[in-house]
Amino acid sequence: MLMPKRVKYRKAQKGRIKGVAKRGTTISFGHYGLMALELGRLSSRHIESCRLTMTRFIKKGGKIWIRIFPDRPVTKKPAETRMGKGKGNPEFWVAAVKPGRVMFEMEGVSLEDAREAFRQVGHKLPIVTKFLER
């Protein structure tokens, strides 16, 4: 599972994700990409499940780039705990994704294989995505 080695602050405020992506909006490494069309928070589990799906589908051929990284901690309070007593402990890490962000890239496979792999990956994600080719 992806997570930062160390962070300056252990707990972060939730904040709001708004606007469109300014960086990472074009395919930089591979020939095919998967772009986010919605705002969302993708956990490290989402990213790992997508990575597994892509690598299993393309088998030995091709190369994959993951262009998002979960660097924001999400805290939770234990179940059946009364209100107050401070903020909960960090439970998992998320990557904030804006519309237009290219999340995954791939090369070394045919167009049909790339399209099918990214279609399967899209089903694993909580946001709407779009297939791109260079």
pLDDT value for 61: 87
Q: Could you tell me if residue 114 is inside a domain?
A: yes
Q: Could you tell me if residue 48 is inside a domain?
A: yes
Q: Is the pLDDT of residue 44 over 90?
A: yes
Q: Is the pLDDT of residue 56 over 90?
A: yes
Global confidence as pTM: 0.93
Q: Could you tell me if residue 57 is inside a domain?
A: yes
Q: Is the pLDDT of residue 45 over 90?
A: yes
What confidence category does residue 60 fall into, taking pLDDT thresholds of 50, 70 and 90?
confident
Range of the domain at 49: 32-76+88-133
Domains of the chain: total? 1
Q: Could you tell me if residue 113 is inside a domain?
A: yes
Average pLDDT over residues 50-74: 95
Cα dist from 72 to 13, 79, 127, whole Å: 9, 22, 18
Q: Is the pLDDT of residue 10 over 90?
A: yes
Q: Which of 133, 125, 124 is nearest to 106 (CA)?
A: 133
CATH number, domain containing residue 46: 3.90.1170.10
Cα dist from 47 to 9, 14, 33, whole Å: 23, 20, 15
Q: Could you tell me if residue 108 is inside a domain?
A: yes
